[in-house]
Amino acid sequence: MGIGRVNLYVNTKQEISNEQAIAFSNLIKRRLNHEPTAYITGHKEFFGIDFQISHGTLIPRPETELLVEKAIELANTTFPQFCLIADIGTGCGAIAIALALHLPEVKIYASDISAVALEAARSNCLYHKVGDRITLLQGDLLDPLPERVHLIVANLPYVKESDMAMLPPEILMFEPQIALAGGADGLKEIERLLSQARRKLLPKGAIVLEIGYDQGQTVSKLAEQYIPGSRVNVITDLAGLDRAVIIQSARRAKKD
């Protein structure tokens, strides 16, 4: 109908036209075909912020808001004067933009291998007027970063190969598999990022990663392998399942 929610409630007796009825019926058919509501409406709320969503970008999940919360805490407590942040695998830009809106003094690099995702991120940056503080970069993981950063935040693919076929049709049929499939153990991309991290982190820098419900112990061992001496903290969700890992480097990053 092209009206806001308030007008919808105010004009409850207004009848829709035949054209609007047909359009609504077509939308219902798309949803019955398992297409996610976010793709149908073109919008999704994340961290209390409205984002434009298009096919080809992962739909932001509520559980990923934990990454933003922890990143804000680290930025305010560990790097209170200035914080340089990298959001790796930015997708529609949800994490980077949420951080930019809540941390007005930070500078953010947001990278993604997908040109489609970066176009969506660019639109959202312009919409929320943070384009002057978020630099979008196309490339593989940490490769496009032009300098070292204080904080790396990443929601990378972590679904195991054996679990992909069991995903709901809304996910399997419509969301980009490149943003979901994490290889045989689900940790292919996470391990690759950790192997690159020391040369991209500033002294005492930190990494915040979203992980699968049973991946905390394995990711902790990978962190110890690739970033020796780091402090690793596995964060669980309200159900007590692994949800995020915070890795804090205790020493100056070495040059390769």
pLDDT tens for 128-142 read 999 999 999 999 999
Give the CA-trace dihedral at 125, 126, 131, 135, to 10 degrees.
Answer: 50
**Global pTM value:** 0.93
Q: Quick check: 108 and 102 in contact, CB under 8 A? A: no
Residue 38 CA neighbour count, 13 Å, CB half: 20
pLDDT at 254 exceeding the cut of 80: no
Token pair belonging to 86: 């990298």
Token pair belonging to 220: 């902790």
DSSP 132: T
Residue 94 CA neighbour count, 13 Å, CB half: 29
Which of the listed CATH numbers 3.40.630.10, 3.40.366.10, 3.40.50.150, 3.30.70.270 matches domain 46-248?
Answer: 3.40.50.150
DSSP 139: S
Q: Which of 23, 20, 25, 51 is nearest to 38 (CA)?
A: 51
Tell me, what amino acid is at 165? A
Q: Quick check: 96 and 134 in contact, CB under 8 A? A: yes
- The angle subtended at Cα 237 by Cα 95 and Cα 206, nearest 5°, is 50
pLDDT at 253 exceeding the cut of 50: no
Beta bridge partners of 159: 181
For 92, 140, 178, 180, 226, the CA distances from 115, given in Å and listed in that order, are 11, 12, 13, 17, 29
DSSP H helices in the chain = 5-10, 18-32, 37-41, 65-77, 94-102, 115-127, 169-172, 188-197, 216-226
Token pair belonging to 112: 């993604």
Place of tokens 């930015």: 90
Residue 149 CA to residue 134 CA, distance in Å, equals 13
Confidence of residue 256 (pLDDT cuts 50, 70, 90): very low
| pLDDT number for residue 251 | 58
Residue 45 CA to residue 129 CA, distance in Å, equals 17
At 167-213, the pLDDT tens digits run 999 999 999 999 999 999 999 999 999 999 999 999 999 999 999 99
| pLDDT number for residue 48 | 96
Cα-Cα end-to-end distance for the chain: 58
